[in-house]
Amino acid sequence: MLIHGASGGVGHFATQLARWRGAHVIGTASSAKVESVWRFGAHEVIDHVNTRFEEALDPVDLVFDTVGGELLKRSPAVVRKGGRLVSVANEPPEISAEAKVSAVYFVVEPNRGQLVELARLVDRGEIRPAIDSVFPLPDARAAFARSISPGTRGKVVLRVGDE
Ligand SMILES: NC(=O)c1ccc[n+]([C@@H]2O[C@H](COP(=O)([O-])OP(=O)(O)OC[C@H]3O[C@@H](n4cnc5c(N)ncnc54)[C@H](OP(=O)(O)O)[C@@H]3O)[C@@H](O)[C@H]2O)c1
């Protein structure tokens, strides 16, 4: 599978979870973040600044997109017949019926059971969260501003309580 934005807040979890479930993971990232995607366990990493991803891989079963825009528009071309394109960033482009590719814009809903399972995986060291910064709860406004600013590396954490 191909993961766009594999170093990002969503992408670095997707990369590790897909690897944990046994997928062959190809991640895209900008040059400065390529190294981090290797560390998250990708089998292949494409520097999307210097390489057109379409020219660097064979068709894949699944594209998971966290970037949207141009990368998403170009993605149906690399999904093999019967495959899927899932974006959490934007609505996917129209795809012709002959391509036999299903495409969805997925919006996550909080799910306690899944969060508990994720926490267990983190506790066991199976997946590693990348933490960009930690803010105390009263600084939630600053934390939000940080979370939507360019150049974050991983998750922005709100600390509740003193520990
Ligand atoms: N639908 C949902 O339920 C849901 C849930 C959570 C988040 N989201 C959305 O998912 C997206 C990603 O969230 P996030 O928290 O992972 O953000 P993030 O930490 O900023 O990561 C996004 C990644 O996209 C890459 N990127 C940015 N511009 C790019 C470009 N022009 N070409 C290629 N790559 C580019 C960046 O990596 P490089 O610097 O390596 O390019 C960055 O690591 C956001 O749009 C967010 O709103 C949706």
Strand-pairing partners, residue 86, are 64, 104
pLDDT of residue 161: 83
Q: How confident is the model at residue 44 (pLDDT cuts 50, 70, 90)?
A: very high
pLDDT of residue 145: 97
Ligand 1, residue 4: give the atom nearest the CA: 34
Q: How far is the CA of 103 from the centre of ligand 1 (A)?
A: 18
- State how many domains the chain has: 2
The fraction of the chain above a pLDDT of 70, given in percent, is 99
What are the start-end ranges of the E strands in the chain? 2-4, 26-29, 44-47, 60-65, 79-87, 102-105, 131-136, 155-159
Determine the structural domain holding residue 141 and report its residue range: 131-163
- Based on the domain organization, do 17 and 87 belong to the same domain? yes
pLDDT in tens, 129-160: 999 999 999 999 999 999 999 888 899 999 99
In a domain, 45, yes or no: yes
The encoded tokens of residue 97 equal 């019926």
Given ligand 1 and candidates 13, 87, 88, which is best to mutate, with the most ligand atoms within 8 Å of its CB? 88
pLDDT of residue 163: 59
pLDDT of residue 151: 84
pLDDT in tens, 1-35: 999 999 999 999 999 999 999 999 999 999 999 99
In a domain, 91, yes or no: yes
User: In Å, how far are 29, 54, 96, 110, 143 from 151, measured between CA atoms?
Assistant: 12, 25, 35, 26, 14
